[in-house]
Amino acid sequence: MIYLDHAATTPLHPRAREAMLPFLGGEFGNPSGLYAVGRAAQAAVDDARQLVAGCLGARPSEVIFTSGGTESINTALLGMAYAMRRAGAGNHVITTAIEHHAGLHVAQHLEELGFDLTYIGVDASGRIRLEEVEAALRPETVLASVMLANNEVGTLQPVAEIAALLRAYAQARHHRVLLHTDAVQAPGWLPLDVNALGVDALSLSAHKFGGPKGSGVLFLRRATPFRPLLHGGGQEMQKRAGTENVAGIAGTAVALEAASTGIAERAARVRALRELLRDGIIATTPGAQPNGCQVNCLPNNLNIAFDDVESDVLVSGLDAAGVAASSGSACSNSTWEPSHVLMAMGVPIRRAVGSVRFSLGESTTREEIEAVVALIPAEVERARAASLVAGRLAG
């Protein structure tokens, strides 16, 4: 199999697996236990927190371990919005039209709870404009949530510039607006420094960077207004109740450390492979064109639209040929609806429903890319000839 869906999930890093193994066997203690095996588990969690903090430029007390990116995003948005409204600061939240569903759906939930939401649009490259963020600010604005890198097309957003804008707004108006970013797709490809980004909260998912599924990270800056989403015990510094997933936490920390090392070299090598794939497909396959920004983007993410093709049919054909790719966000593959990201970018629906995401990884080779380029034209023709495609796309 040629695996080109690293944006959906990544193989477990060998070092992460090694770090997890003791806690899947003899070191099975509950970190809350006062006895030796419990203290050993707590020490492992503490060490992991220290390691993750170092990777992010944060304090250990600002690192919260969660069950994954979805929980981290939900916890950040709900926890900060609730706290700010409870303090009387307001009930207006700003986000973008191209967030992952973990962000969009919680934004819709906030609306149901009485919050006022503004959804910022994007240009044809998938990028928001700072002027629109500034224009959306109101005296009652309490939170903005803007993803760092889009999971479907890879476009990067100006998060640090938004943070600077919000700081200037706070100084001028004496009104603080919190900033969260979904950075799930960034580790391994972009340097992550919470102080350089200027964010109050940042969400990560371990399985996107060589860690285990079911484990995530939420950075929450010290003194940020916050109310817990999960209530129960006093774990995670009273911010996230529930017995810690010690094995997952240990693997997450080691995987993040590995992903944070050698970023420039990794990104340069994989970007060259991405461009080889893009240029090869466009040169050999009529009716193929890329979606999203091709410069200010993740080095491993390539979204290609194929005219007169239904993406699920093409992805199925590629799978049969031994290539794993995606028809969009892995969390929405059970529906045929076109990508909300591509629609927000103004991509015509006939192109949007024929778009495929290829996401490369550190293990991707030039030989694999050349093999994919060679088989794409025939697979596209087969997909175009499929009766399902003709039935859905005609008229």
Which residues are part of the catalytic machinery?
Answer: 331
Residue type, 276: L
Helices and strands, counts by H and E, the chain: 15, 12
The C-alpha atoms of residue 308 and residue 288 are separated, in whole angstroms, by 10
With residue 291 as reference, give the H or E element that holds it: strand 288-291
Two tokens, residue 83: 């706290």
The residue written with tokens 């890879």 in the block is 154
Centroid of chain to Cα 7: 8
Question: What DSSP assignment string belongs to 21-37?
Answer: GGGGTT----TT-SSHH
Q: Are 89 and 115 spatial neighbours (Cβ–Cβ below 8 Å)?
A: no
With residue 48 as reference, give the H or E element that holds it: helix 36-56
Question: What DSSP assignment string belongs to 77-127?
Answer: HHHHHHHHHHTTS--EEEEETT--HHHHHHHHHHHHTT-EEEEE---TTS-
Coil vs helix vs strand at 323: strand
Q: Are 328 and 339 spatial neighbours (Cβ–Cβ below 8 Å)?
A: yes
Q: Are 219 and 192 spatial neighbours (Cβ–Cβ below 8 Å)?
A: no
Report the relative pairing of strands 116-120 and 92-96 from DSSP bridges.
parallel
